[in-house]
Amino acid sequence: TLDDIASNSSIQNINVGDKSVNELFIDYDDIFKDGLGCCKVKAHLYVKPDVMPKFCNPRSLPFAYREAVENDLNRLVTEGVLEPITVSKWAAPIVVVPKPGGKIRICADLSTGVNQALNINQYPLPKPNDLFVALNGGMLFSKIDLSEAYLQVELDDTSKELLVINTHKGLFRYNRLPFGVASAPSIFQEIMNKMLSGLEATVCYLDDIIITGKNKIDHLNNLSKVFARIKDYGFDINKNKCKFLQNHVEYLGFIVDKNGVHTSPSQTQAIINMPEPKNISQLRSFLGMVNHYAKFIPQLSHRLLPLYSLLKKDTQWNWNADCDKNFRNIKQNLISPIVLTHYDPSLPLVLAADASSAGVGAVLYHRYPDGSEKVIAHASKTLTTTERNYAQIEKEALALIYGVKKFDQFLRDRRFTLLTDHKPLITIFGPKKGIPTTSANRLQRWALCLMGYVYDIEYRSTHNFGHADGLSRLPVGPDKEFDNHNSNEISSITVIQQELQEQLPLRAAQIAKATRKDPILIQVYNYKLSGWPLSSTDNLQPYYRIRNELSTLHGCITWGVRTVIPSCFCKYLLNYLHLSHPGMSRMKVDARRYFWWPLIDKEIEDIVRKCPNCTENSKQPIKVPLASWPVSDQPWKRIHIDFMGKFMGLYFLIIVDAYSKWLEVFTMHHSSTKTTIDALSSLFSRYGLCETIVSDNGSQFTSTEFSDFCVRNGIKHITTSPGHPQSNGQAERYVDIVKSALKKGLYNGGKISDVLLRFLFCYRTTPHATTNLSPAELFIKRQFLTVLDLLRPDTFDPSYTVRCRYQNNFDQHTKERYFIKNNKVLVRDFRNNPTNIKWTPGILI
């Protein structure tokens, strides 16, 4: 345990004498080795009772990051952090965070999965003021950084099962504690506090350890004790990121030296270097920012009089010495302790950001229980030439990203609130909304960047947004570090394009293209055109046996009505068939209607057997034969109805047609007679009245109101025997089917409405085992068109030859145009504009 390790530590009295810090490095060289250490204390994650596991599919990965991600996965496997597995109930997608030097960091997106299932560890993080007090009297300072600190803490066996990432290379289970786990900061802080307990002049906030001393010898003695304790616990140190025997160090956004604690210039330069306003618009923005902190600044109204006088109507702009003096005094107030506060991990943290045509600004502050706000740090920068051409929504988004990157040390591994005055960003950046596929590439890329953080996002009107607005309109200048880093991320735009491409329906044209590249199918295709040999190799045997039944059409190979699928698309189509977890039989029926490849039945069986939520939600086989209702002779003659619920806070009215097996499901907040009648009335308005309704003896169906409804519409109402709901077997069976489908569909997250619609579409288009036809064919008298119909080459382009000829004829009279940087061009403007100018001159940049 932690206490055992601390008590057994061998550093009670160490005197380094005249040793130098380099000699300490030699004495403790084993804690400075490459790679990761392994803490002797294991971490445990506590899960809420009755939590449903969540399994998420992998996200698409930018090609620019793919090699780096694979290399890092291999490194983490080698170091024991990750372990490849094949089956898991839990899985989270990864988020790739770019780092300087072309490196990346792999993070698990646990925001809507494991983190929501955890009873979060409440061990308190230390308050910075308490840490600074412990450093008083120090003359020299050392700062120790642990190599990928959290990943040096091993998980116990039960916790490992929760932390699984789903990547393009498969499933990997964490053996160590990763960044992004909601309990990780508290778990790690508890280990650090135990490890460093009893050591003088030593403080720790998460993985940042500061050591000081009254003099050099005292400092080295304290440093040696810390090294020894780190060694006892099994941690390794990242020597390249450490600082030793410094006159001052930056810690938690402040400068610590022998004279005490000072605000870091990096946190206040946005105010200190803020230029004076040049016009009324900039002055209004500055005054708006100042008024946001009016309660903290004494005699503010008197100081602002010279500035407000410039806003009077018909007053000529005259920035005189009195204005300049008050402007500078107020700026000093804005960075003084009366307005600024120290970072406190126990208080809510808010990041407000805004953009103007000139720059972006960000303010990081604490929100106190009484509603007041005190700033921790300010930041601003001017827009680059490229950024000035952004749409306003992109500038506002850039401001948020700038603030997050600028204050990463405060925001990483804790929940915070993003504040914006641009309401559309709530949808795009909302952590529970998902990334809208219709938003611009740049916004999607930034949304992916934010997935590495735990945050809420709120809207505040521009009138109440003065603190950030003023910084954006009076920026201090360019931020080279951010601008250079941001430009290096442009290549990651491909992640969205690739993801959208993979989500599009697969078409016969793509099948034909892939057939030409498939080493097996191209041989089959050529043999079909030129004739088959007398014998074939093993890999061609499945096709050779049915060679006389194969055909070619528009570059595809077909077997009857089925399209033969190249190997590269097999997994995609299997996952599509399994999207709503319909079970083996339905998947096989669907596949046989549209496509084929060798061993497809076995692969369908494997994917269902290996699916944990299919296994857990499978129904126990029936043990005795059931008596059946008389067979209905036409659609919508007899319907069976029943309620399911409460499930996920909702009731579900299940309605099934006895003849066609057509299924309708209504979601309701209350299972009352009125809501039942409303749902049935809606159905009757579309499909007409039925002759018979079969239900159980629920109060909704036995009420006088429901009886009157049936009588008014000439409907015969039959109820099942009391205490024997199985008499309404069709509805009862579909209650189980719908509940199972929802459980399976919600296993990976998403909205109930989306999962339900996806299931209903799949069910209605799949042939029923009883009728051998789909419910749609019997009820609507036609087959529904599905995306799988696009796989058939005779449906993807009925005028294929004519279109190809037209394309060739058109291309003969055109030529491709190429542009280079700094070319002068004319751009067609299709927007409505008062000048009616169609073409605008420009230069390519």
Task: Work out whether the CA dihedral 811, 815, 820, 823 comes out positive or negative.
Answer: negative
Phi/psi of residue 382, each to 5°? -80, 155
Which of 169-173, 273-277, 663-667 shows the lowest mean pLDDT across its residues?
273-277
User: Residue 503: what pLDDT?
Assistant: 47
Nearest to 223 by CA among 25, 36, 5: 25
Is residue 347 classed as helix, strand or coil in its secondary structure?
A: coil
Instruction: Say whether 505-616 and 2-263 share the same fold.
Output: no
Distance CA 118, CA 558 (A): 51
Give the pLDDT score at 121: 86
Please tell me the distance from the alpha carbon of residue 464 to that of residue 565, in angstroms, as a whole number: 58
Is a pLDDT exceeding 50 seen at residue 14? no
What's the pLDDT tens digit per position in 543-572?
A: 999 988 898 888 899 998 899 999 888 888
DSSP-assigned letter for residue 198:
T
Overall average pLDDT of the 285-310 stretch:
72
Task: Kindly report the number of other CB atoms within 10 A of residue 757's CB atom.
Answer: 13
Characterize the bridge pairing of strands 104-108 and 208-213: unpaired
Average pLDDT over residues 571-578: 86
What is the percentage of the chain residues whose pLDDT exceeds 90?
A: 22
CB atoms within 10 A of CB 163: 26
Place of tokens 């991990």: 345
Q: Report the distance separating Cα 497 and Cα 515, nearest Å.
A: 23
Residue ranges covered by each domain of the chain: 2-263, 269-477, 505-616, 638-771
Q: What are phi and psi of 250, to 5 degrees?
A: -95, 130
Most confidently modeled range among 388-397, 608-617, 658-667, 811-820: 658-667
Residue with tokens 């004495």: 27
Residue 461 or residue 627, greater confidence? 461
Write down the pTM of the prediction. Answer: 0.53
Calculate mean pLDDT across residues 208-220. Answer: 90
pLDDT of residue 13 exceeding 50, the answer is no
Instruction: Judge contact between 739 and 726, C-beta under 8 A.
Output: no
Q: Is 604 helix (H, G, I), strand (E, B) or coil?
A: helix
DSSP characters for 610-624?
Answer: T-HHHHHTPPPPP-S
* Mean pLDDT, residues 515-544 taken together: 89
The pLDDT value recorded for residue 524 is 93
Alpha helices in 273-356 (DSSP H): 280-292, 300-309, 321-334
pLDDT band at 12 (very low <50, low <70, confident <90, very high): very low
CATH superfamily of 269-477: Ribonuclease H-like superfamily/Ribonuclease H (3.30.420.10)
> What percentage of the chain exceeds 70 in pLDDT?
82
Question: Does the pLDDT of residue 342 top 80, yes or no?
Answer: no
What secondary structure, in 3-state letters, does 375-441 show?
EEEEEEEECCHHHHCCCHHHHHHHHHHHHHHHCHHHHCCCEEEEEECCCHHHHHHCCCCCCCCCCCH
What are the backbone dihedrals phi and psi of residue 27, each rounded to the nearest 5 degrees, phi first?
-60, -35
DSSP state of 703: S
| Separation between Cα atoms, residue 787 and residue 346, nearest integer Å | 52
Indicate the pLDDT class of residue 105, thresholds 50, 70 and 90. confident
- CA 799/CA 554 separation, integer angstroms: 11
Is 110's pLDDT higher than 90? no
pLDDT of residue 761: 92
Asked whether the bond before 646 is cis by omega within 30 degrees of 0, the reply is yes
Are 10 and 228 contacting, i.e. CB atoms less than 8 angstroms apart?
A: yes
> How high does pLDDT run on average in the chain?
81
Backbone angles phi, psi at 805, to 5 degrees: -65, -40
- The CA distance from 108 to 462, in Å, is 35
Q: What is the mean pLDDT of residues 594-605?
A: 92
Q: Is residue 10 very low, low, confident or very high in pLDDT (cuts 50, 70, 90)?
A: very low
- What is the per-residue pLDDT for 821? 80
Q: Determine the Cα–Cα distance for residues 529 and 525; give it in Å rounded to an integer.
A: 7
Top mean pLDDT of 286-290, 384-388, 670-674 is at 670-674
pLDDT at position 436 is 46
Note the pLDDT of residue 492: 40
Angle subtended at Cα 265 by Cα 340 and Cα 372, rounded to the nearest 5 degrees: 15
Report whether 718 contacts 693 (CB < 8 A): yes
The position carrying tokens 């000439």 is 714
Q: Helix (H, G, I), strand (E, B), or coil: what is residue 241?
A: helix
User: How far apart are the C-alpha atoms of 764 and 746, rounded to whole Å?
Assistant: 20
Question: Under the phi-then-psi rule, with left for phi > 0, alpha for psi from -120 to 50, and beta for the rest, what region is 503?
Answer: alpha
- Residues of 23-54 as b/e, b for ≥16 C-beta within 10 angstroms? ebeeebeebbeeebbbbbbbbebeeeeeeebb
746: pLDDT strictly greater than 50: yes
Tell me which of 28-42, 54-68, 174-188, 417-431 is least confident: 54-68
Q: What is the pLDDT of residue 675?
A: 92
Question: Can you tell me whether residue 457 is helix, strand or coil?
Answer: strand
d(CA 660, CA 779): 6
| Residue whose structure tokens are 């600190």 | 149
- Report how many helices (DSSP H) and strands (DSSP E) the chain contains, helices first: 35, 28
Q: What is the mean pLDDT of residues 159-169?
A: 91
139, 215 in Cβ contact below 8 A?
yes
Residue type, 666: F
Q: What is the pLDDT of residue 413?
A: 72
Its CATH class, for the domain covering 505-616, is mainly alpha
Class of domain 2-263 (CATH, top level): alpha beta
On the CB side of 548, how many CA atoms lie within 13 Å of its CA?
A: 1
DSSP state of 721: P
More confident residue, 361 or 97: 361
H helical segments located in 521-568? 521-530, 541-544
Contact 838, 829 (CB under 8 A): yes
Task: Return the higher-pLDDT residue of 13 and 403.
Answer: 403
* 226 against 646, higher pLDDT: 226
Report helix, strand and coil shares of the chain as percent, to nearest 5: 45, 20, 40
Q: What 3-state class would DSSP assign to 693?
A: strand
Of 138-142, 254-258, 822-826, the range with the highest mean pLDDT is 138-142
Q: Tell me the pLDDT tens digit for each residue of 233-256.
A: 999 998 888 899 999 888 877 788
3-class SS at 25? helix
Under DSSP, the state recorded for 43 is: B
Mean pLDDT of 96-117: 77
Which structure tokens are listed for 427?
């949808």
DSSP class of 57: P
The Cα 42–Cα 191 span in angstroms is 10
- Kindly give the pairing relationship between strand 663-668 and strand 650-657: antiparallel
Q: How many CB atoms lie within 10 A of CB 317?
A: 10
- Classified by CATH at the fold level, domain 638-771 comes out as Nucleotidyltransferase; domain 5 (3.30.420)
Number of residues written out for the chain: 845
CB contact at 8 A, 596 and 792: no
Average pLDDT over residues 159-163: 93
- Residue 7 pLDDT: 47
User: What's the CA angle centered on 68, arms 65 and 73, to 5 degrees?
Assistant: 120
